Amino acid sequence: MAAGRGAARRPSGRWAAWLILLLLLAGAGVWILRQRRSAPPAGAAPRLVATTSADCGPPLPDLRGQAVARAKGATFTTVEQLLRLSAPSPTLYRVQVQLLQYSAVGQEYRLLLGSLVSPGLTLPARLPAGSCVANRDDGALYDELRQDINLQFGPITSRITVPPQATQVIVTGFASFGANGIELRPVLDFQVQ
């Protein structure tokens, strides 16, 4: 009789294990769906969101904490190719350029970049302050990039400053249209060569 009771309990133990496994899988499925809903589809233009103050400039893309990951997948291009764009693009671009000048306007760092091939061609780039975006992860990236620039060139002020020596940099950002045409905004990566 005891053997019969033990045999009857084994299947219920298996059913409990299967039930727990199914609950875990269902929970994982819900988590994955939430993550996919919060992340923009690959290649999709990020939604523009208002900046936190007028000092921050026009609306910025809502990168939902994915700025670093998206910057790693940037398309390498040239100033010449960027200046030929006729419409804003959801594509992130990485371009090797000459840093011609920099300054701070409101809470935004403004960089003027020059072509390495055609010295007369320039491209503006803008780096907002971290406080200009609602997502803390993206804001931390902007603030870290600003600190890196300050370490390289000293504190950035409202005075337009030319680097003391020729400086090649690689800048990554979204191609957007500003008052004077195409520009990189926001900058998501900045590396001195």
Domain 48-192 classification at class level = mainly beta
Spatial contact of 59 and 49, defined as CB atoms under 8 Å apart:
yes
For residue 7, what are the CA distances in angstroms to 1, 3, 11, 13, 128?
10, 6, 7, 10, 68
Count the Cβ atoms, other than its own, within 10 Å of residue 168.
13
C-alpha–C-alpha distance, residues 101 and 94, integer Å? 19
pLDDT at residue 143 in the model:
93
* Series of mean pLDDT values for 10-residue runs along the chain (193 residues): 52 73 73 53 52 68 78 89 82 94 92 93 93 85 92 92 92 85 91 91
pLDDT at residue 30 in the model:
64
pLDDT at residue 159 in the model:
95
